[in-house]
Structure 1
Amino acid sequence: METKPDYPESEASSSSSYYHSASKVKIFFMVFTLSILSWVSTLNSTVSSTTIEPIGLELGTNNLQWVSHSYMLTNTALQPVWGKLSDYFGRLILLKIAIYVFMIGSMVVAFSNTLSVLIVGRTIMGVASGVLQVIAIVILSDLIPIRQRGKYLGFMSAANLFGMSLGPLWGAIISKSIGWRWTAVLNVPILFIASNMVLFFIFIPAPPGSFKKKVVRIDFLGIILAVLAAGVFLAAFDIIGGVQRLPSILSIIFVVIGVVLAIVFIINEKKTKKDPLISYKVLQEHNVWIGFLSAIATGVVIYATLFTLPSFYRVITRNPDLAAEAKIWPWTVGVVISTVVCGISMTVYGNYKPYLVIGGIMMICGLTWLSLVNPGSNLIHSYLGSFLIGLGIGFRVPSVTIEAQCVVKYQDLASTTALINFARNVGGVIGMTSANQMLKYRFMDKVSTLAKENPEWESQLLLVSEGIISALWQVEDEEVKEKTLEAFAKTVNFIFYYCIFFSCIGFVLSLVTKKVKLLDEFDSDESHAPDLEQSKDEESVVGDEVKNKSETVEPNTVLDSTKGSSPTETIVVSPTKLAKHETVTES
C-alpha cells in the first residue's frame, strides 16, 4: 500500500531543480536575506538584558521582567503552528506578514509611554519573531538538499546566535548614545530593506489547492492543544521567575496541566482524521525526540548565559558603564567560528553526531571554568570560559536541527524544523526565567544580613536584584560594596552550575542519538527534475503515474519522481540511494 504525501513529492524535487539551476550568487543572497531576518529576530530577544535598566528608570520597575518575558513567551508558544500553516498557505505569505507585524510592534515599543504599552509592543514583536525564526529555516531546508544544507544552515545559525550575543551590546550602546527607544526604531529600516530582498531573491510557489480545501484539512484541535500546552508550561516557568522559594505550588500545578495537555495533544495527533499538526510518526522518530530534548538543554545554556554574562562582566571588572558588557565578545567569536565550521564539516563529511558530542564537552568545560571566576580573577580567565561556551553552543545548534531533519520525509520537514526551534526556545524561556529567579532571590538571601546592618543601602540592593546593576555603584560604603559584588558573583556562579547540569544532559543525549549518513538526495540527473513553476496539472499527472506503477513495483523499493525526462516518467531505484521518498509496499 502506497502512502501519499500531503503535497506532491515534486515539491521536494523542485528544491533540487532550484539548487542546481540557481547561481551561487543567487543562493548567497537568498541565504543572506533569511539570515538578516533571523538576526533581527534573535537580536531583539536579548536586547532587553541591557535596555531593561534605562526602561525601568523611565517607566518604573513594576512587572519589568515582562519586557523580556512577553517577547520570549509569545515567540515560543506559537512556533509549532507556523511550520504546518506554511505547508497549507505558503512560506512567503507568512514571512511577509511577519515582517510587517514585527515593524508595527517595534513602533508600538518606540512610542510607548507606559510599561504596559511597551509590553504589548514586545508581545506583538514576539509573535512575528517566532514566524521569522521558523520560516527562515524552513525555506532554507526547502531549497537546499540535506547534504548541502549543513554549510548554509551553519551560516544562518551563526547569524542567529550572533544576533543573540550582540543584543546586550546593541542595547547598551544605543541606550547610552541615543536612547533605548531607538533599539526598536532601528528595526524598521532594517526589515524594510529585508522585505524588498525577499521579493527579489526568494521564490517559492504557493501550495496548490483552494483556500477552502486547505482550511478544512487543518487540525484546529491539535493547534489549540499545542498552544495551550506550550503556553501553560511556559507560564509555569514565568511564575518560577517571580517566586522567592522553590518549589512553588502554583508553578507545579501549571507544569502538571501543561504535561497533561501535551499528552492529550499527542493522542489527538495519533487519532485525528485531519492533517495532524505534527505527524505521530515524526514524534516516534528516535532522532526527533532526542533532538527535541537536546535543543531544550542547549537553549537553557544559551539564554541563561546571555542574560547573566553582561552583568557578570560589569561586576568582575568593577565597571559601572554599560560598555563593560561588550566583554561578552569571546562568546560571540566562539559561536560564529563553530557554527560555520560545523556547517561546512557536516556538508563535507556527511555526519552530524561528532559535533553534538564535541559541543557538549566544550560547553561543560567552559561553564566549569567560568564558575571559578570571581571579582579578583584575571579577565583572561573569564574570556577563555566564555569562548569555550560559545564554541560548544555553535557546534550543537545546527547539528541538532540536521539530526532531526535527516530522518523525516519532505512533507514533515516544516513541522519538524518548527518543533526543534520551539524546543530551543522553550529551553531559552526556562534558562532566562530561572536565571532571573536566582539572581533576584539568591542574591537577596546572600545580602539580607548586609541590608539589615546597613539599611541606608537596602533600596540599592533591591534595585540590583531587579536587574538595575548600576545601583551597585551608588553604594558609597566600600566595604558594603565589595561584599555586594562578591555576593552577586557567587549568585552568577550558581547559575553556571545550573547550566552545567543541562549541558551534561545534552552531552548524554548526543551519545545515544542515531548516526544517519547525510546523502545528497539529488546527486545525479537533476537536469530533468520538475521546475519550481511546475503546474498543478503536471503534478496531478505525476501522482496518477506513480499510482499506476505502484502495482508492479517490488517491495522495499523507492519511487524517485525527481528522475526521468518528463513529468510522467518514474524510475524505481534502490532504497539506499535516496533519503526522502515514499516507500512502496504491496497491499
Structure 2
Amino acid sequence: MSPTSPSSSEVAVNKDKSNVDEVVSAVLIEGPRTRPKRGLDFWLIFLAICVSLFMSALEVTGLSTALPTIVEDLKGENFIWVGSAYPLAATALLPASGGMAQVFGRRITMLIALGLFALGSALCGSAQNMSWLIAARTIQGAGGGALQSLASIIVADLVPLRERGIYTSFIALTWAFAAAIGPLIGGSLAVKGQWRWFFYLNLPITGLAALLVLAFLRLKTPPGSLKEKLGRMDWIGNFIFIGSATSIAIALTWAGLTHPWKSAATLVPLIVGFIGLAGFLVYEEQWAAHPIVPFKLLANRTSLSGHLQSFITPILVISVTYYLPAYYQAVKGDSAIHAGVNCLAMALMLGPSMIFTGASVTITKSYRIQLWIGWWILIIVMGAFTTIHYGTVKARAIGLSTLVNIGGGMLYSAQYFPVLAPMPVSESAHAIALYSFFRTFASVWAITIGGTVLQNELVRRLPVEFTSRFPNGVALAYGSIPVIATLDEPLRSEVRQAFVESIRVIWQVMIGIAGLGLLCSLPMKAHPLHTQVDESWGMEGGQGNKDVQTSLANGDVEGAEKTMSESEREVPTLSRLN
C-alpha cells in the first residue's frame, strides 16, 4: 500500500464526515423538513380557526341585504361608509397584525382580534345613528381583518404549501357556509325590523371561538420580555402605513359622493396616501430594523403577480356580492330576504369551486392553469351581466351570479400559491399578512368603485320627481330602495329603469378590471411548492428540526437522515427567487 493512500478506516471516517456535511447542508439550506402530525390537537386548532373565520365571512356577506333597511332606519346618507369602514380598518391594521403575530405569538394576537371584533359587533348592534354605526364598524373591521390574516398564518405554520390546498378547502367550506346563510340571516332580520341582531349574533360565536383558542391554540411563542417584544415592533412603519392607507380609503369613500373626484378634498388625501405608501416601502427597505413588509416580498415577478391578482379578484366578486342584491330589490322589487335567497346559489358555488381548485393544486403541484381559467370565466360573466335589462327574467342574473363564484373561487383558492411559492417559509407570516392586506384593501375599492358609478349614474338617470324627495342628495336614494315598490306608475318603472341602467355600468367597468387581472397573471412562473414548514411556529412540544440537530450532535447520521427523509426535499433555491 502506498504511504499516501488512505486506509479503509480513514475512508469510512471521511464517508461519515461527508454524510454529516450533506445532512447539515440540507438542514441549513432547505430548512425544517419534518411533516407536522395530524393528531387531535391539530384538528382542534383547525376548528378554532374555522369558527373564528365563520364570523368574518358572515359579516362580509350578510350586510349587503340588510343595508338598505339599516340606512332607512337610521336616517343616514353616507351608506358607503357603513360598508367601507370595515375593510378600511382591516386594511390599515393588517400588516400590523402580521407583525404582532411574529413578535407576541399567534394565540395572544388572535385573542386581541376576537376581542376587537366582539366589541365592534356590540357597538354596531346598539348604534343610534350612522356616525355611531360607522365608528363601530371600524372597530369590528380591525378585528375581522386580523382574524382572516391570522387564520392563514396559523395554517401555514402547521401545513406545508404542497399539502395546503386540501386544508384550505376546509376553510373554504366554512367561508362558503357563512356566505350562503349570511344574506339570508341579514335579509330575514332586516324584514322583521331586527337588523341589530345581525351584529349581536356575533357575540356568542366570538365567545366560543375565544374558548377554543384559549384551550387548543397552543403554538410556540417567541422568547423575550414584554419590553423586548415591544422593541421589535416596527412602530414607525406601522404609523406611516396606517396613515397612508387610511388617507387613500377616505379619499375613495368621498370620491364622487361627498366630494367630486377632481376636488381638493378628494385629490389631496389620495395623493398624500400614495406618496405615503411609497415612502413606507422605502423606509421598510432602508431603515426598519424589523420591517413588517420586507421589500423582498415584492422583489420577484411571481409573488408580485400573485399579490396584484389578490387585489383585483375581490373588486370583482365583492362588487357582484354588494350590488346584485340592490338590483334584486330596486329593479325586481324583492324584499331583503328574497334578495338573500336569490344570492344563495351564488354563495353555494364558492365552496365547491375553492375545494376543487385547492385539490387540483395539491394533486398537480401547479397553479397557473387554474388562475388563467378563473380570469377568463370572470371576463365572460361580467360581459354577460351587461346584457341584463329591465325586462330580463331574474333567473338569468341568478345563473350568471353562480359563474362569478366559480371563477372567483378558483382565483381565491389558487392565487395564494404564487404569492408563497417563491418565498422561503420563514417569510410566510409577512407574505400572508401582505396578501391579506391586498385582498382587504380591494374591498374598499370594490365598494367605492361600484358605489361611485351607481350614484353618478343615478344622478343622471333618476326622474326629477323622484330625486326631489331627497333634499340631502341622491346618495340617500340607496336607502330609498325599500320604498320603490310603493311608488305609483309610471314613476316606479322609471326609477327601476334608472337603477338597472346604472348598475349595468358597474358591470361594464368590471369587464376592464377583469381583463387587467388576466394581464397581471401572465408574468408568473411555475415554482415548485414547499414541502416544509417553519418549525419556529409549530405546536408546542413539536420536535421538528431539533431531532435532526440532536442526531447530528450525537453522531447519529442515519437517524438524522431518517428524520429528514420523512418528507421530500424539494425547496426553492436562491436562483428560483429571481
Question: TM (normalized to structure 2)?
Answer: 0.85
**54, 69, 75: which is aligned to 1:54?**
69
Letter matched to residue 482 of structure 2: S
After superposition, give the CA deviation of every residue in 1:384-419 in whole Å (9 maximum; x if it has no partner). Answer: 211111111100012111210111112211111111
CA distance, structure 2, for counterparts of residue 455 and residue 521 of structure 1: 61
CA distance, structure 1, for counterparts of residue 233 and residue 281 of structure 2: 16
CA distance, structure 2, for counterparts of residue 271 and residue 460 of structure 1: 49
CA distance, structure 1, for counterparts of residue 495 and residue 290 of structure 2: 57
- What's 1:391 paired with? 406
After superposition, give the CA deviation of every residue in 1:365-399 in whole Å (9 maximum; x if it has no partner). Answer: 11111221122112332222111111111000121
Letter matched to residue 355 of structure 1: Q
Letter matched to residue 483 of structure 2: A
Instruction: Indicate the RMSD between aligned Cα atoms, in angstroms.
Output: 3.4
**116, 128, 152: which is aligned to 1:113?**
128
- What's 1:555 paired with? none
Assess, with a 3 A threshold, how the Cα gap between structure 1 residues 237 and 379 changes in structure 2: closer, same or farther: same
**258, 271, 274: which is aligned to 2:273?**
258
CA distance, structure 1, for counterparts of residue 193 and residue 418 of structure 2: 43
Bigger shift: 91-100 or 31-40?
Answer: 31-40
- What's 2:485 paired with? 473
**2:576 maps to 1:579:** no
Assess, with a 3 A threshold, how the Cα gap between structure 1 residues 11 and 141 changes in structure 2: closer, same or farther: farther
Question: Which residues of 2 match residues 403-422 of structure 1 at below 5 A?
Answer: 403-422=418-437
**2:408 maps to 1:400:** no
Q: Tell me if structure 2 keeps the 8 A contact 1:146–1:521.
A: yes
Question: Which residues of 2 match residues 444-459 of structure 1 at below 5 A?
Answer: 444-447=459-462, 450-452=463-465
CA distance, structure 2, for counterparts of residue 481 and residue 69 of structure 1: 29
Q: Tell me if structure 1 keeps the 8 A contact 2:548–2:559.
A: no
CA distance, structure 2, for counterparts of residue 519 and residue 136 of structure 1: 19
User: SS at the partner of 1:65?
Assistant: helix
- What's 2:23 paired with? none
Assess, with a 3 A threshold, how the Cα gap between structure 1 residues 495 and 397 changes in structure 2: closer, same or farther: same
Letter matched to residue 578 of structure 1: E
After superposition, give the CA deviation of every residue in 1:114-159 in whole Å (9 maximum; x if it has no partner). Answer: 3333222222111111111110110011100111101212332343
Letter matched to residue 541 of structure 2: E
- What's 1:3 paired with? none
Question: Which residues of 2 match residues 189-208 of structure 1 at below 5 A?
Answer: 189-208=204-223
Identify the structure with bigger relative contact order (alpha carbons < 8 Å, sequence gap 6+).
2
Question: Which residues of 2 match residues 249-328 of structure 1 at below 5 A?
Answer: 249-272=264-287, 274-320=289-335, 322-328=337-343
Question: Which residues of 2 match residues 148-163 of structure 1 at below 5 A?
Answer: 148-160=163-175, 162-163=177-178
Larger CA Rg, structure 1 vs 2:
2
Q: Tell me if structure 2 keeps the 8 A contact 1:48–1:171.
A: yes
User: SS at the partner of 1:47?
Assistant: helix
- What's 2:16 paired with? none
- What's 2:224 paired with? 209
**447, 458, 464: which is aligned to 1:443?**
458
Assess, with a 3 A threshold, how the Cα gap between structure 1 residues 215 and 153 changes in structure 2: closer, same or farther: same
CA distance, structure 2, for counterparts of residue 177 and residue 208 of structure 1: 52
- What's 1:5 paired with? none
Structure 2's unaligned 5+ residue stretches are 1-26
- What's 1:560 paired with? none
- What's 1:512 paired with? 523
- What's 2:14 paired with? none
CA distance, structure 2, for counterparts of residue 152 and residue 541 of structure 1: 27
- What's 1:483 paired with? 494
Q: Tell me if structure 2 keeps the 8 A contact 1:330–1:390.
A: no
After superposition, give the CA deviation of every residue in 1:14-53 in whole Å (9 maximum; x if it has no partner). Answer: 8x45x3x223x65444334312212211321343323323
**2:70 maps to 1:22:** no
Report deviation, 1:94.
0.6
- What's 1:339 paired with? 354
Assess, with a 3 A threshold, how the Cα gap between structure 1 residues 293 and 183 changes in structure 2: closer, same or farther: same
Bigger shift: 352-361 or 454-463?
Answer: 454-463
Bigger shift: 133-142 or 251-260?
Answer: 251-260
After superposition, give the CA deviation of every residue in 1:302-344 in whole Å (9 maximum; x if it has no partner). Answer: 2211110111122443334542332012321221221110111
Letter matched to residue 116 of structure 2: V
- What's 2:18 paired with? none
Assess, with a 3 A threshold, how the Cα gap between structure 1 residues 432 and 564 changes in structure 2: closer, same or farther: farther
**100, 110, 118: which is aligned to 1:103?**
118
Q: Tell me if structure 1 keeps the 8 A contact 2:261–2:267.
A: no
Q: Tell me if structure 2 keeps the 8 A contact 1:410–1:580.
A: no
CA distance, structure 2, for counterparts of residue 206 and residue 11 of structure 1: 23
Letter matched to residue 569 of structure 2: K
- What's 1:94 paired with? 109
**2:215 maps to 1:181:** no
Report deviation, 1:245.
4.3
Report deviation, 1:490.
0.9
CA distance, structure 1, for counterparts of residue 387 and residue 473 of structure 2: 24
User: SS at the partner of 2:220?
Assistant: coil
CA distance, structure 2, for counterparts of residue 491 and residue 404 of structure 1: 36
**2:155 maps to 1:147:** no
Assess, with a 3 A threshold, how the Cα gap between structure 1 residues 285 and 467 changes in structure 2: closer, same or farther: farther
Q: Tell me if structure 1 keeps the 8 A contact 2:76–2:129.
A: no
Assess, with a 3 A threshold, how the Cα gap between structure 1 residues 464 and 375 changes in structure 2: closer, same or farther: farther
Assess, with a 3 A threshold, how the Cα gap between structure 1 residues 565 and 202 changes in structure 2: closer, same or farther: farther
CA distance, structure 1, for counterparts of residue 301 and residue 354 of structure 2: 24
Q: Tell me if structure 1 keeps the 8 A contact 2:188–2:336.
A: no
Letter matched to residue 336 of structure 1: G
CA distance, structure 2, for counterparts of residue 262 and residue 540 of structure 1: 43
Q: Tell me if structure 2 keeps the 8 A contact 1:241–1:434.
A: no
Q: Tell me if structure 1 keeps the 8 A contact 2:69–2:482.
A: no
Report deviation, 1:539.
6.5
Question: TM (normalized to structure 1)?
Answer: 0.84
Structure 1's unaligned 5+ residue stretches are 1-7, 550-562
Matched residues, number = 543
Q: Tell me if structure 1 keeps the 8 A contact 2:219–2:538.
A: no
CA distance, structure 2, for counterparts of residue 256 and residue 516 of structure 1: 36
CA distance, structure 2, for counterparts of residue 241 and residue 168 of structure 1: 28
- What's 1:228 paired with? 243
Letter matched to residue 117 of structure 2: F
Q: Tell me if structure 2 keeps the 8 A contact 1:461–1:472.
A: no
